[in-house]
Amino acid sequence: MGTVYLHIGTAKTGTTSLQRFCWINPETLAKKGFAYPQMPFGFKEKGQRYKNAYFLTLWNKRTDERWKKAFSIVEDMFKEHENVILSDEQVWIMQPEEGFWETVQEELAAIGADLKVLVYLRPQDQMAESHWNQKVKGKPKLAESFQEFLDGGYGGFPLDYGKTVDWVADHVGKDNLTVRVFEHGQFAGGNLIADFLDALGLGNLDEYKLPGHVSNLRLPENVAEIKRLANAADSYQEPDMPNFYWNAIRKAYGLGTMKEIPKHKTGMFSPEERREYLSRFAEGNAHVAREYLNRPDGKLFYEEPSDLPKWKLNEKEILPDLMRVIAGADTYLYEEQEKKAKELEERIAKVTREMEETAAQTRKLQNRFDRMLNSLPLRVYRKLFGEVKKH
């Protein structure tokens, strides 16, 4: 029937930007025979409407109505399109589970669809820094230090690319797997979106609309430390507690665009630690380069590791950022209160209008009732009834 192109991440390789890009270009994609379906159900733990493949995490709960509905939507897409794009980076994290790929392929085969997989790989040191930063700034509101995060197994995230890419290839077929490198110097067309289009054979970037801003930029180390310390508060860790300080930081540093955040002057590794960390993955990276990118030299990443000094807490340097976050918190609270006050005013105005309309209707009914009571037939009736009653 058609082909499903499943983009499985990895996390911290611009997946949100790619998902937003697909989301805002349905017409252009359709002209090229592609669809990026919107799923009409949400997942509370995700809170991200642009992702459309998170339903695949239900692979061992196939009685869930969302699983059935999603595949029904994919099947419907093939009535008008030859190809369907699905995307969620969570697939990379959970797909090494035994039985996952068999289940997904079985469902796709049932609707006559083939499967092709696209994955982006980023240097493991950058992955570690960005992933820790993401978990600190967002959910689960991580309070662990960077070193504690590494020592704890990096949250189980698959960083042995050789092993995990082989796992995917063994299940979907090497010819059905496209491996791309998340490195600016290796992007076809010079940027991630152009490279994504190239990987799927979707034409040139100038045919499409572009997202308005960059998503999920990494916080500078000082700001991440402020957020991490806030995360450590017991009350802030309550599951239903909103991620208030993330909203405060967004406000302090330029709304949702994060464009005002300065460039990184430090990293979470020292140069020596960074090279030692990368050496752990050298063999697997070389295997991917040779087997999936046809590079006899085994060179997966071309850019040299960062030589930024390791971040250290400096109270004097962190103070300006702390004050900026506090100012952002005040601004956020004020705007939220203003928004709620405006909503309350609108509700009061609406109730007032409804009460006035009800009162006007009541007066109309009262007038009609009075006219009816004073109408000639009722006056005659009352007079006759009164005369009869006297006798």
Which CATH number does the domain housing residue 195 bear?
3.40.50.300
Helix (H, G, I), strand (E, B) or coil at 295: coil
| 161-172 vs 100-110: helix crossing angle, rounded to 10 | 30
Which residue type, as a one-letter code, is found at position 343?
E
pLDDT at 124 over 50: yes
**Which has the minimum average pLDDT: 112-121, 269-278, 328-337?**
328-337
Angle of CA points 73, 78, 80, to nearest 5°: 110
Helix (H, G, I), strand (E, B) or coil at 117: strand
C-alpha 90/C-alpha 210 separation (Å) is: 24
Task: Tell whether 211 and 356 lie within a shared domain.
Answer: no
The whole-chain average pLDDT of the chain stands at: 89
- Is 270 a domain residue? no
- Is 106 a domain residue? yes
pLDDT at 255 over 50: no
Burial class (CB in 10 A: 0-12, 13-18, 19+), 64: middle
Task: Tell whether 13 and 98 lie within a shared domain.
Answer: yes
- Is 121 a domain residue? yes
- Is 257 a domain residue? no
Are the C-beta atoms of 340 and 245 separated by less than 8 Å?
no
- Residue 379 is part of which domain span? 352-390
Q: How many CB atoms lie within 10 A of CB 203?
A: 14
Task: Tell whether 81 and 165 lie within a shared domain.
Answer: yes
Are the C-beta atoms of 78 and 1 separated by less than 8 Å?
yes
Name beta bridge partners: 83: 3, 34
End-of-domain residue from the set 294, 322, 342: 294
| pLDDT digit string, tens, across residues 60-111 | 887 889 999 999 999 999 999 999 999 999 999 888 889 999 999 999 999 9
Task: Tell whether 82 and 174 lie within a shared domain.
Answer: yes
Percent of the chain with pLDDT over 90: 57
Contact residues for 352 (Cβ-Cβ < 8 A; gap 6+):
none
Are the C-beta atoms of 161 and 121 separated by less than 8 Å?
yes
C-alpha to C-alpha distances, 161 to 126, 192, 236, 250, 349, nearest whole angstrom:
14, 20, 35, 33, 59
- Is 302 a domain residue? no
- Is 260 a domain residue? no
Task: Tell whether 154 and 62 lie within a shared domain.
Answer: yes
pLDDT value, residue 296 = 97
| 65-77 vs 100-110: helix crossing angle, rounded to 10 | 50
Task: Tell whether 81 and 13 lie within a shared domain.
Answer: yes
C-alpha 171/C-alpha 102 separation (Å) is: 7
pLDDT at 298 over 80: yes
Task: Tell whether 167 and 74 lie within a shared domain.
Answer: yes
- Is 357 a domain residue? yes
Which residue type, as a one-letter code, is found at position 243?
N
pLDDT at 236 over 90: no
- Is 227 a domain residue? no
The tally of domains found in the chain comes to 2
Task: Tell whether 11 and 81 lie within a shared domain.
Answer: yes
pLDDT value, residue 179 = 98
| Edge-to-edge order in the sheet of strand 2-7 | 34-35, 83-87, 2-7, 113-121, 177-181
Are the C-beta atoms of 21 and 104 separated by less than 8 Å?
no
Percent of the chain with pLDDT over 70: 92
